[in-house]
Amino acid sequence: MVGVKYFHHIWEHMLDKVLDKTVKLNNEIPGPVYIKPDGQLLDVGRMRMDTVLEDTQRGKVVIVDAKYYGAASSEELPGWSDLVKQFFYAKAIKLIRPRASVTNVFIFPGISNFVSIAKVKDALGNYCDTEFLPVHCHYINPISVMRDYVRRKKDTQLTDELFMK
């Protein structure tokens, strides 16, 4: 019997390999620094997106956050910190791809469609989609991801679905 202690690493890796049109942009997006009184900069690391898809012909970028749990109930949904990261990833991508249409997506393992989108709503009930890009929720059967992964096959249908969100 073989066990996996941190499935989320495997899930992220498999999605990154199975999705088509992946690009590596983590080194291009801005990162935070602290400035000491003498002007010295202290780099504290960068944002790290799980997977980014880019279709230059369509002018679209999709930021994928691979969630490793089912999200089949309100108790299992990603928290505020997960949403904030996606909002900042979108802002960072807009800095390096200002003309691109950017989409945020959570991908969950499973076939349940408990929720379809996460949005920010103000006190008056208005959605703040311009300031905080919605995060689309997509569920996929993990068996099909594993099958494509071991066959080294790109899931172009899933990739197209993500670009259509």
On whether the CB atoms of residues 66 and 11 are closer than 8 A, the answer is: yes
Would you state the pLDDT for residue 60?
Answer: 97
Tens digit of pLDDT for each residue in 3-27?
A: 666 778 899 999 999 999 999 999 9
Question: Average of pLDDT values for 132-142?
Answer: 94
CATH number for the region 7-163 comes to 3.40.91
pLDDT in tens, 48-85: 999 999 999 999 999 999 998 878 888 889 999 999 99
For the chain, count helices (H), then strands (E): 4, 8
Of 160, 162, 113, the C-alpha closest to 139 is 113
Q: Are 102 and 63 in contact (CB under 8 A)?
A: yes
Q: Where are the domains of the chain?
A: 7-163
